Amino acid sequence: MTETKQQEILHDWLNRHKGLFFKVVRAYAHNEEDRDDLFQEITLQVWRSIPNFRGESAETTWIYRIAFNTAIRWHSKERKHQEGRQSMESAPVLEAQSKHQDERLTWLYEQIGKLSEVEKSLCLLLLDGFSYKEMSNIVGISESNVAVKIHRIKKYLQEQSEKMTANNGI
Amino acid sequence: MEFEDMQKIWNADSQQYAFAINEDAMQKKILNKKIGASRKINRMEMFLIGVNLLVGSFILGKNLILDLHNVYLYGLSFVLYGSVVYMFLQRQKRIKGENEFDRSMLGDINHAINNATYQERLSIFAFIYGIPVFVLVWFSVYESDKSAAFLIGVAIFFILTLALSVVEHRMIHRRHKRRLVQLKEMLLSNEK
């Protein structure tokens, strides 16, 4: 595969599935600079993976898998900006669009942010409607293990939602 | 809020437009990352192999050409050549194992653990091989009638180097591997 073709595919995937990239970035990185850094890392890894993509799975499954692997590794290894180091020189790659902010979505991301790294991945897949079997393939654990973790995640989210409702006096 | 409501919020189109991508900046930064991160282990291995080969050959050549026939210097070149062979074999093993992992998240973590184990092993090897190098260098310097201060200086230099390699092993390689193993355990267990 030529580099131009690889670049074209990346461009196409970014156009059609950018929401997926943004979801992973928002779930795993909690400030502007980290989001920017993680987005670049995921994009780079997805770009590298393109020659290996044989179309045996859906594009979204493939991208999610690469994005999660990258995010978990990035999270455990780098966290450079959280440790107080300054960011890179030039313009940011990602620019937040404030007009598209939804408070309930922000709350949901806050809750996801409190989950463990693995649970975050499962939670994103669950919210995106992936089946247990697909989750099991992406994450590499058994379906029964997925089911146990998903049960716990749902319970946690519901508890948090109830707490929020109680605090708001609704 | 029920889980289904959360899913509706999640699936809103707004997620697609949460950020704007600055494509020019992205191209530039990704290119930098590609250059910077590419084949880090590979370069490290080639550097170590090259340096050991060069230093081993230099010591052996000097020993032969100048008719020194210093047994410690022969020993030193033998250790350096041995380390080259060891690193080359380990490198071949690593490259061969690169494609043995499945493409799931667990497969990727196993791959990362394998790489971390490899780096850990290299750092242990660097420590163990540093000891005979130290002993042989020290005795060859001793035989060349250098002053006591010089001998003490050489000893301090090597002891510091060995101590730093232990610190590097514990603080960087072992810690990184432990973190990855914890991640794997987290993935496989039903406990958070």
Provide the residue ranges of all domains of chain B, joining segments of one domain with +. Answer: 39-188
Chain B residues with CB under 8 Å of a chain A CB are: 1-3, 6-7, 9-12, 14-22, 25-26, 28-30, 33-34, 102-109, 112, 176, 179-180, 183, 186-188, 190, 192
- The answer to whether the Cβ–Cβ distance between A97 and B105 falls below 8 Å is no
Q: Where does A1-82 sit in CATH, by number? A: 1.10.1740.10
In A, which residues are within 8 Å of B178 by CB distance? Answer: none
Domain ranges for chain A, please list them.
Answer: 1-82, 100-170
Nearest-by-CA chain B residue for A36: B26
In A, which residues are within 8 Å of B190 by CB distance? Answer: 145, 148-149
Q: What is the pLDDT along chain B (192 residues), one digit of tens a residue?
A: 788 888 888 887 667 777 888 877 777 776 666 555 446 677 778 888 998 899 999 999 988 998 878 888 898 899 899 989 988 998 888 777 766 666 677 777 787 788 888 888 888 888 888 888 888 888 888 887 788 899 899 899 989 988 988 888 888 888 888 877 877 777 776 544
In A, which residues are within 8 Å of B119 by CB distance? Answer: none
Contacts of B1 (CB under 8 A, 6+ apart): A104, A161, A164, A165
Is the ipTM here above 0.85? no
Contact A37, A93 (CB under 8 A): no
Residue ranges, chain A, pLDDT below 50: 80-88
Place of tokens 């649970």: A119
Instruction: State both tokens at A83.
Output: 């440790």
Instruction: State both tokens at A140.
Output: 């590499």
How close is the nearest chain B Cα to the Cα of A87, in Å?
Answer: 12
Q: Which of A11, A13, A36 is nearest to A96 (CA)?
A: A36
A100-170 under CATH 2.115.10.20, yes or no: no
A19 touches chain B (CB under 8 A): yes
User: Which parts of A35-133 are beta strand (E)?
Assistant: 94-96
